[in-house]
Amino acid sequence: MTTEVDYYEVLGCQRQADGATIKSAYRKLAMQYHPDKNGGCKDAEARFKAVSEAYEVLKDPQKRAAYDRYGHAAFKSGGGGGQADFGGFSDIFESMFGEFMGGQGGGRRQTRRGADLRYDMEISLEEAFHGKSAEITVDVSGTCDACAGSGARPGTVARGCNTCGGAGKIRAQQGFFVVERTCPTCMGAGEVIADPCGECRGDGRVDKTKTLSVNVPPGVDEGTRIRLSGEGEAGPRGAPAGDLYIFLHVKRHPIFTREGTTLHARAPISFTTAALGGSIDMPGPDGSAHTIRIAAGTQGGREVRVRGAGMPVLQGRGRGDLIVRIEVETPTRLSARQRELLEAFRETETGEECPETSGFFAKMKAALGG
């Protein structure tokens, strides 16, 4: 025995909720549980069907009045216990979000828009800095050239569906009201192809390989998405095509790491440069060299910020900063002369040369009772 869940509970609404509240609840739940957003999850698909069925009833004043009075019994046809067919949940979603998804919800016939496609492109940090133009090749379902997407054999045309009169929908009396559903003969197209095209077998689409130009603007980051309108899958029988989305992936750089428009780099220096001061040249992603001044007595871990030497702002003006972290390297290979000089230097040390070191050991000595 099938458990009939209250439609108001399905949408999370009170029975006295107005139409706007019910519509808002449906939109939120439909977007959350739509199969395209849940990777084909069966539980999400079942939840989406339940939400769509509940909204199909509660959005219509006559259906809602009948449901409030008779409950689910109002939708039993002929006493046979069969539940009324409100059409596929995809039709309901397309009717609700037709404009957003590129369909034609609310018209005489439903037009199924082609599917969106995804293409992953890998670029270097330098290409992300400067931008680039590239050509990509994608395999898609494109409009059939033989029939120009109509699905009918050249020289013939599709005829109007006799079942629905070209509307793509039919109406049937269900108890106290009229139920509208997708025409089972033409599947909502409003037309029937008696003599289908030999190339596409009546679908209006064939497999194609397309070469497209992609312009990557300066400043893009990992995960930036570029939309190519109308370059996705062609819709069936001349319906609008979907879009192609280019997802960008920036390759790991040997020198720089990135946080938004800020670049980070590490620069090892000799301990003599750290002690006496000096300068180093740090190359930027644009190929220019930035001089980093090293003050005498620089400690390891110090960060130097170079203003305006980072990544450009995407679709804006200016650039971020470059932050260089100084790391003091202790020599591991000394010549005899170098070792002699360091030994002579150590003999002259008083402790004042490295106040942090001497201070640390003084604190330790005091903590251990002298």
- Residue 130: exposure state from Cβ atoms within 10 A (0-12, 13-18, ≥19): middle
Q: Return the CATH number at 71.
A: 1.10.287.110
Strand, coil or helix: 315: coil
Instruction: Give me the percent of the chain exceeding a pLDDT of 70.
Output: 86
Q: What is the pLDDT of residues 264-281, one digit of tens each?
A: 999 999 999 999 999 999
Q: Is residue 110 part of a domain?
A: no
According to the model, what pLDDT value does residue 105 have?
Answer: 41
Q: What is the pLDDT of residues 322-366, one digit of tens each?
A: 999 999 999 989 999 999 999 999 899 887 777 777 666 677 777
Q: Are 171 and 68 in a shared domain?
A: no
Q: Where a domain ends, among 96, 130, 158?
A: 96
pTM: 0.59
Q: How many CA atoms lie within 13 A of 156 on its CB side?
A: 15
Q: Where a domain ends, among 250, 274, 303?
A: 250
- Residue 164 labelled as part of a binding site: yes
- Residue 161 labelled as part of a binding site: yes
- Residue 354 labelled as part of a binding site: no
The sign of the torsion formed by the CA atoms of 319, 320, 326, 327 equals negative
The confidence band for 38, taking pLDDT boundaries of 50, 70 and 90, is confident
Residue 98 has pLDDT above 60, yes or no: no
| Residue 348 domain boundaries | 257-367
Q: Is residue 335 part of a domain?
A: yes
Q: Total structural domains in the chain? A: 3
Q: Are 244 and 124 in a shared domain?
A: yes
- Residue 13 labelled as part of a binding site: no
Q: What is the pLDDT of residues 202-249, one digit of tens each?
A: 888 899 999 999 999 999 999 899 999 999 998 887 788 899 999 999
- Residue 41 labelled as part of a binding site: no
Q: Which two tokens stand for residue 273?
A: 């440069």
According to the model, what pLDDT value does residue 75 have?
Answer: 67
Q: Are 78 and 45 in a shared domain?
A: yes
Q: Is residue 85 part of a domain?
A: yes
Q: Are 280 and 302 in a shared domain?
A: yes
Q: Are 344 and 361 in a shared domain?
A: yes
The winner for highest mean pLDDT among 64-73, 308-317, 358-367 is: 308-317
The confidence band for 91, taking pLDDT boundaries of 50, 70 and 90, is very low
